Every structure is written in C-alpha cells, then in structure tokens.
Amino acid sequence: MSIHATTPYDADARGWFGGPEGFGGRFMPEALVAALDELTVAWQDAMADPTFVGEFDAILRDYAGIPSPLYFAERLSDKVGARILLKREDLNHTGAHKIRNVLGQALLTKRMGKTRVIAETGAGQHGVASATAAAYFGLDCTVYMGSVDTKRQALNVARMHLLGAKVVAVDSGSATLKDAINEALRDWVSSVDHTAYLFGTAAGPHPFPTMVREFCRGIGDEARRQSIEQYGGLPDAVVACVGGGSNAIGLFTAFLEDEDVAIYGFEAGGEGFDTGRHAATIHAGERGVLHGARTFVLQDDDGQTVESHSISAGLDYPGVGPQHAHLADAGRATYLPVTDVEAMDAMALLARTEGIIPAIESAHAIAGALRLAEERQGQTILINLSGRGDKDMGTALEYFRLGQADAETGDVK
Amino acid sequence: MTTATAFEKARADGRAALVGYLPAGFPDVAGGIDGLRAMVDAGCDVIEIGLPYSDPVMDGPTIQAAAQQALEGGVRIADVLRTVEAVAATGTPTLVMTYWNPIERYGVSRFATDLANAGGAGLITPDLTPDADPAWAASADEHDLDKVFLVAPSSTDERIAMTTAACRGFVYATAVMGVTGARTTTSDLAGPLVARTKAATELPVGVGLGVSTGDQAAEVASYADGVIVGSAFVRVLLDHADDRAAGLRALARLTEDLAAGVRRA
C-alpha cells in the first residue's frame, strides 16, 4: 500500500498536502511529538508488513462484514432520472464506515504493545466503534464526549458502557465534539507511554489524516472495483458527506486520478448559511489551525473557534480534514452545503423508496446527489451510504412527529 | 530590560528567575493589568501574558476557567496587546504565551510588529514547535523578539538540540507529561530534562507546570535557571472573585513566597 506523496493529492513525509504553504502539518505540543513520530514509524512498518495487512483484511471480512455491497437503487434512480449506486457502509458491524478506522488503529495499538485506547466522540458513533474495537482486542478504553452530547445520545453512552468502555462527559468550552477532542488530547499528553489515541476522523496532526484515510480507503477501492465489475464502468460522479471527512476521503481516494469522475463532498449547511448556524467549514470557513492541522476552520476575526451547528451530530465540527481542504483548493473536488431540512427530506425519501433508513450524516450525501441528478440526468452517481439511521430515530421522531396522527415525511410512493 | 538580561541578573545574584503568568482579560482587562503589576511589584522577574483561546489543549481546568471567563468577557487581541503595553512599561520583560491559531489569523508579521510596538519581549508557543512552521521565526527575528519553544520529558536529544537552537530568551522545559495545573509534589522528570537541555544550549532553562509554593520553587530553582508559575496565580484570583483588593494582596503574598523560594535554593 502506498503511503506518501505518490500522487499530487497526497501528503509529503511531514504531513503537508500541497506543500508547507498548503494544509495539514503538525501543530502540536512538543510533549506529543515523540508519540506522533513513534506512531508514524509503527504505522508505516505495519503497512509494509503483509502479516499486518492480511490480519486487517481478515478482521474486516470476518468480524465487520466488509466489503460492503455496492447496490443499485432502482426505485430511487427511476424517481430522480439518474442511475444511483449506494455503497452500503451502513451494513458494516456497528452500522457505519467507522469500524474500518478503529479496527485498523486498534490492531496497530496491539502491535505497538500499548494497553489502553482513548477516543473522542460527537454523536457517539466513533465512541461505540472504539469501544467495540477495544473489546475485540482486549484493550482498556476511555471515550471523551461533550456533556451536551452525552445527554442527546444517551443510548450510545449505554452501548459504550455495555461494551466495557469508560465514558467521560466533558463540560469545558462548548461541551461538544471539539471540546471532547481537547480533553482527549489532554489525557494523551499524560498517558502517552501506554495509551493510543484512536482519532475518529481524517483530521488532526500528521500522521492521522493519512493514516485514517488509508484505513478507510477500502470504501473507494471496493466501490471502484464493484462499479466496474457489476455495473460496467466507472461512475460519472462520486458523492459523500463531509464532517471531519473520513468516509469521504475513504471513498474519494480511489477516484482522485480518474479525471472523468467528478467528486462531490456535501457539508452540513445546518439551518442555512445566512443564519450562521451551520458546519459548512470548507464553504464558509477560513484558513487556520485547529486540533493540530492547518485546514479550513469556522473562526472569528481573532482566530477563536466558532461553534458549528448541524442536525447531524457526526457533521457538527468546526474543522475539516486537511486533505479535503487541499482537494477543494486544488479544484479536484467540489464541496457544497446541504441544509438540515434537505437532509431530513432525503432521509425520508430513501426510507420510502428503498427501505433503507440512512444516518442523517449520510442523508446529506443523498440530498446532494438528488441535486446533482437534476443536471446529470441519465448519468451514474455513486453515493457513500456511510451509516445507518438507527441511532437517529430520536431526532427523526421529533423532527417528523413520528407516531403521531399528523406525522409528515413527504408524499413518496 | 530583555528577557536574557533578566535571567543574567538573577544568575548574577546566585538565584533562579521567577516567571509569573496570568491570562489577559482575567478577571477583566483592567483587573488583569492590576494583577500582573502586583506580581511585578512583589518580585516576578519575567511576565508571561496568556492570550485566551477557545481550544487550549495544554491547559488544565484552572487556566481553562480563566481563559473562558476572559473570552466570555469579550477580550480581544487588542486587549492582550494593551495588557502587554501596560506591564512592559514597568521595565519587566513581558512575553505573550499563545496557541498558534490566533496569531496565524491575526497575521504573523502583523502580530510581531504590534507586539514589538507594545514593548513585548516575545512569544511562548505551546502548540508550535520550531519545525511546524518557519513563519514565526522569520517575523520574530525581524523584530528581535524572543522565541520560546517548549521541551518535554518525552523529547529526544535530537529534538532538544533542534528546539534549543531555535529558541531566543530562554527555553521552556515542561516538568511533567501533562497539562498546566498546580501539583502537590514536584516532578522527578524535570531534573533530568533540564540536565539534557543544558547539555544542548547555553540559554537559560525555565521549568514550568505544577509549581505553586515557595518550597517547590526552591526545589526547582536548585537545578533550573527559572521557575515558571501560572495556575497558582490564577487560582488565587479565582478564589478571591468577590474581593479584588484581597485578591491583589493574596497575589502579592504568593509572589513574595515564590520569590523567597527561588532565593533559597
């Protein structure tokens, strides 16, 4: 497997996408640099070791149900006038693409001889995946979660507890995902000799953006092969939702050098760009440094991080992975916002037409693809259905007034 | 007086320098200036002014609380520079301790210019290592500003050599693997780290993280050139939130205790 700078879209050996004037790098306390260097070396050794790669593939296959299918959504296609292919990451163990990343990082943790993992989580999906991987490998696990999120996602807290993880509610700052990352980093500074930080997305300091991408790139590698073998060629466009960006970069990587394949990332437009309550970091953010990398950041004139908003907790992050910033800057991928309302409409539409309830994160990708279909009639659009919607039923219940006589989810037959 | 001169003067007196920290805008801008001046009057040799930031990953609960209070009070970078100007006017070398993003956002060169114009001595950068981005070194050199980078117990000798070669003013050695905050015992990692750092540079080495009493200051002063105290000063102001005058008196008493400590080694 390739690791560094084999295409113009990859990072150099120091983690810069597009050179030191570009994005990424490593803006971290000196106390953590030795651990990041150690991790970089251990990961590169592991990726060059056929035993490690074989073990990773076997766990993905036998434990996580990967490769996931590439499914032709016929009824939805008929409805929108474009051929829609869904990469069914929602069928993976724990219900999302995130299991790929945590199994990779946890396997690496074992190899490095560390006994404890920590993770941050927003909605709780990465926390649940981390707790799952920790249970699988017999590692101690502590998950940091904003106290606002532990309340909204009590069921996921319960899942983590059942899996044997400790969950720490974080009250500092805005008490959401970014503060959970801050607290996990504070833990890591104190525990780095025996603890690995299972970072939940393709962001943060080098090597995380590239390492997480490599653990997730099976999404695109599989989808590209499946598209050719099952559907007779490459899609015209590939589409994913982007929060931190791990599912998106996992899909996009296989298609970066297919010049005829258009690449679209859909960010959380929240209540609308004009309201200021959104998480459209690439669309509306400015260059800055957050959580160890230079990227696009929602920030004020003094460089203070601004709180993001999205109905989907998994996209509710004021930064974005640096490779996405680079792909946007280089013009290789297009990033557009999708509002809460559009995403919820798309969630209902997919449920009614295909019998698939997507995660609200993934519903952003569906909504974006519906928009693309209007100008791409008859073309093939491949969407990463990154996760399933079970975790979002509380939100859906409230939003659609489900179970009540006047429930309204759109008129789709 | 430059930072280097302050350390030399302390060394000539046969003691370590006392470096005191408060974030700007805490409890408010005027109160912060009063506090820092009280610390200067009571014996701090060098002052560090924190630039409050929304995501302070190297800070424990005490400094987080102060920074959050400052931000909720509306502190801006202009207020930080105003605080620097007021404290530097005492003649005590005054550095700014800041996470990197506010500087990058403000403009690195513009910040260096404005800091120099305010009489500031330089920057301490807890999340910027010298190899992360060369922009600060270039701007600092242009204005003769101190570049204080951190070394940690986990730093390799190679990284200590690289880091100290990039420093001007002094080298900041973090005594523990952890975040800021008072601790009841001093670290056994600090001594060996200072020894490794001194093997690499002639620059003075200050030790921070965890020191809160005169006795701890004395212990650290026995092997380091500077004793850096932050959370303990912040704690004093947090504990006297209802009575500013009493807070300033307590700040002076703590400074005197620490200043006696660095002379006792």
pLDDT for the residue numbered A3: 52
A244 and A321 fall within a common domain: yes
pLDDT at B252 over 90: yes
pLDDT at B176 over 70: yes
Distance CA B175, CA B190 (A): 4
Q: Which residues of B touch A179 (CB under 8 A)?
A: 55
Q: Known catalytic residue: B34?
A: no
Q: Which residue of A has its CA nearest to B111?
A: A302
Query: Does B105 contact A189 at a Cβ distance shorter than 8 Å?
Result: no
Q: How many domains does chain A have?
A: 2
- Determine which of A16, A27, A28, A30 to mutate to test the interface with B (most B C-beta atoms within 10 Å): A30
Q: Is A290 part of the contact surface with chain B (CB cutoff 8 Å)?
A: yes
A348 and A224 fall within a common domain: yes
Mean pLDDT of chain B: 96
Q: Which residues of A touch B164 (CB under 8 A)?
A: none
Q: DSSP characters for A347-412?
A: HHHHHHHHS--B-HHHHHHHHHHHHHHHHSTT-EEEEEE-BBSGGGHHHHHHHTTTTSTT------
The string of pLDDT tens digits covering residues A275-307 is 989 999 999 999 999 999 999 999 999 999 999
ipTM: 0.96
pLDDT at A413 over 50: no
**Which residues are bridge partners to B226 per DSSP?**
B17, B206
Comparing CA positions, the residue from A34, A33, A14 lying closest to residue A24 is: A14
Q: Which of B55, B149, B176 sits opposite A182 (nearest CB)?
A: B55
A252 and A265 fall within a common domain: yes
A82 and A155 fall within a common domain: no
Q: Is A334 part of the contact surface with chain B (CB cutoff 8 Å)?
A: no
In a domain, A3, yes or no: no
Q: Which residues of B touch A302 (CB under 8 A)?
A: 76-77, 102, 105-106
pLDDT for the residue numbered A174: 83
pLDDT at A2 over 50: no
Q: DSSP characters for A59-94?
A: HHHHTT--SPPEEE-HHHHHHHTSEEEEEEGGGSGG
Element (H, E) at A44: helix A30-47
A75 and A167 fall within a common domain: no
Helix axes B157-166, B190-198, angle to 10 degrees: 60
* Extents of the domains making up chain B: 3-262
pLDDT at A61 over 90: yes
Which residue, A212, A242, A273, sits at the end of a domain?
A212
CATH code for the structural domain at B3-262: 3.20.20.70
Q: Which residue of A has its CA nearest to B61?
A: A172
Domain of A380, CATH number, reads 3.40.50.1100
Q: Which residue of A has its CA nearest to B105?
A: A303
The string of pLDDT tens digits covering residues B7-22 is 999 999 999 999 999 9
A54 and A81 fall within a common domain: no
A289 and A374 fall within a common domain: yes
A353 and A319 fall within a common domain: yes
A27 and A131 fall within a common domain: yes
pLDDT for the residue numbered A5: 57
In a domain, A1, yes or no: no
Q: How far is B4 from chain A (nearest CA, A)?
A: 23
pLDDT at A328 over 80: yes
From residue B243, how far is each of B234, B240, B250 by CA, in Å?
Answer: 14, 5, 11
Q: What is the 3-state secondary structure (H, E, C) of chain B?
A: CCHHHHHHHHHHCCCCEEEEEEECCCCCHHHHHHHHHHHHHCCCCEEEEECCCCCCCCCCHHHHHHHHHHHHCCCCHHHHHHHHHHHHCCCCCEEEECCHHHHHHHCHHHHHHHHHHCCCCEEECCCCCCCCCCHHHHHHHHCCCEEECEECCCCCHHHHHHHHHHCECCEEEECCCCCCCCCCCCCCCHHHHHHHHHCCCCCCEEEECCCCCHHHHHHHHCCCCEEEECHHHHHHHHHCCCCHHHHHHHHHHHHHHHHHHHCCC
Distance CA B213, CA A192 (A): 28
Q: Chain centroid to CA A92: how far?
A: 14
Query: Does B153 contact A291 at a Cβ distance shorter than 8 Å?
Result: no
Q: How far is A182 from chain B (nearest CA, A)?
A: 5
Query: Does B155 contact A34 at a Cβ distance shorter than 8 Å?
Result: yes
A390 and A280 fall within a common domain: yes
Q: How far is B253 from chain A (nearest CA, A)?
A: 30
Mean pLDDT of chain A: 95
Q: Which of B64, B101, B150 sits opposite A288 (nearest CB)?
A: B101
Question: Which residue of the set A120, A214, A342, A361 is catalytic?
Answer: A120
Q: Which residue of A has its CA nearest to B60?
A: A186
Element (H, E) at A177: helix A177-191
The string of pLDDT tens digits covering residues B97-117 is 999 999 999 999 999 999 999
- Segment B46-59 shows an average pLDDT of 96
Provide the token pair at A235.
């899609």
Q: How far is A45 from chain B (nearest CA, A)?
A: 21
Distance CA B32, CA B38 (A): 10
pLDDT for the residue numbered A1: 45
Q: Known catalytic residue: A408?
A: no
Parent domain of A351: 66-95+217-399
Which residue, A161, A179, A212, sits at the end of a domain?
A212
The string of pLDDT tens digits covering residues B115-172 is 999 999 999 999 999 999 999 999 999 999 999 999 999 999 999 999 999 999 999 9
Interface of A with B in 368-407 (CB under 8 A): none
A181 and A235 fall within a common domain: no
Query: Does B102 contact A290 at a Cβ distance shorter than 8 Å?
Result: no
Give the rounded percent of residues in chain A with a pLDDT score beyond 90: 88
Q: How far is A328 from chain B (nearest CA, A)?
A: 20
Question: What is chain A's length?
Answer: 413
pLDDT at A4 over 60: no
Write the CB contacts of B177 (distance below 8 Å, at least 6 apart in sequence). A31, A189, A190, A192, A193, B152, B153, B154, B189
Query: Does A291 contact B60 at a Cβ distance shorter than 8 Å?
Result: no
Interface of A with B in 18-57 (CB under 8 A): 20, 25-35
In a domain, A331, yes or no: yes
Query: Does A29 contact B104 at a Cβ distance shorter than 8 Å?
Result: no
Q: Known catalytic residue: A386?
A: yes
Q: Which residue of B has its CA nearest to A303?
A: B102
Question: Which residue of the set B34, B45, B59, B219 is catalytic?
Answer: B59
- Determine which of B131, B133, B154, B209 to mutate to test the interface with A (most A C-beta atoms within 10 Å): B154
pLDDT at B210 over 80: yes
Question: Which residue of the set A79, A87, A98, A178 is catalytic?
Answer: A98
Q: Which residue of B has its CA nearest to A32?
A: B154
Task: Report the SS3 class of residue A29.
Answer: coil
The string of pLDDT tens digits covering residues A149-187 is 898 788 899 999 999 999 999 998 888 899 999 999 999
For residues A4 and A11, is the Cβ–Cβ distance under 8 A? yes
Q: How far is A122 from chain B (nearest CA, A)?
A: 16
For residues B225 and B7, is the Cβ–Cβ distance under 8 A? yes
Q: Which of A257-266, B55-64, B80-89 has the lowest mean pLDDT?
A: B55-64
